[in-house]
Amino acid sequence: MKLRFWIFALIALVLIQSANPARAETFTFAIGEWPPYVGSDEPHYGTHARIITNAFASAGHIAEYKFMPWRRAMKVVEGGSVPATFPWVYTEDRAKRFFVPDRPITTNKFVMFYRKDRFPDGLPALTFDEIRERGLTVVAVQNYWYEKPLEEAKVSVETVVTEAQAWTMLQYKRADIFIDGDNAGIRQKAEFLGDAAEEITYSPPIHTVPLYILFSKTHPHGKKMLEIWDGQVSEENPEDPAVR
């Protein structure tokens, strides 16, 4: 009789445990301002943040966001103070310093923004070598994906720390080109330049790339968050191959 009791008790315990999902955890992401993809004043903190919030919610967890300068965001994640940051372009250097998931958040089109009076006939999509051959100067934001490729192509570059500085450089003709995502650039030029934004237009896409979450190799949550993200996205898009 006692044996039967303990068998029933054990079965009940197993059923209770299986009925209760794993305890919800809160995972933190360090991000900067890049509307409409991420932004402290954007609905759901931006379109990319909403994708990530939903993915982690589907796994029973909560995503929270800490806004800071982009350079600091990458630094605190690499150092292990925060477990993840997004959105970033894949590079071999970043793959050595962070866990990069199999699947991106989404893809993004990068274009060249320029003054209409500087190029009244417009600009086609140029390679970095063609930019150098034309003797054009690019204003580049520090730590962006194009930093090393521009250097390797020996393009004339003026490096700044923030997007606001880049737009100012372009507005006052201290650079010929600023490379940014099409949607983000359209939003930012209006925000930073006001009416002067009408003086600036953009080229066809020069680069279409996937954007990723970078997970910390030193924070204890980094590997776990990577597995949650890849697991959830794989379930939602089982036939969508990873693109790098």
The DSSP-derived string for the chain is: -HHHHHHHHHHHHHHHHHHSPPPP-EEEEEE--BTTTB-TTSGGGSHHHHHHHHHHHHTT-EEEEEE--HHHHHHHHHHTSSSEEEEEE--HHHHHHEE--SS-SEEEEEEEEEETTTSTT------HHHHHHTT-EEEEETT-TTHHHHHHTT-EEEEESSHHHHHHHHHTTS-SEEEEEHHHHHHHHHHHHGGGGGGEEEPSPSEEEEEEEEEESSSTTHHHHHHHHHHHHHHH-TT-----
Please report the pLDDT score of residue 174 as a whole number: 98
127-144 pLDDT, tens digit each:
999 999 999 999 999 989
Please report the pLDDT score of residue 237 as a whole number: 44
Distance CA 188, CA 36 (A): 9
Please report the pLDDT score of residue 233 as a whole number: 60
pLDDT along the chain (244 residues), means of 10: 44 42 86 95 96 96 97 97 97 96 96 98 98 98 92 98 95 98 95 96 96 98 97 53 30
Give me the residue spans of the domains in the chain: 25-106+210-236, 107-208
| Same fold across 25-106+210-236 and 107-208 | yes
HSE-up (13 A, CA, CB side) for residue 65: 24
49-72 pLDDT, tens digit each:
999 999 999 999 999 999 999 999
Please report the pLDDT score of residue 23 as a whole number: 78
Q: Which two tokens stand for residue 85?
A: 């940051």
CATH fourth-level superfamily of 107-208: Periplasmic binding protein-like II (3.40.190.10)
CATH fourth-level superfamily of 25-106+210-236: Periplasmic binding protein-like II (3.40.190.10)
The predicted model scores a pTM of 0.76
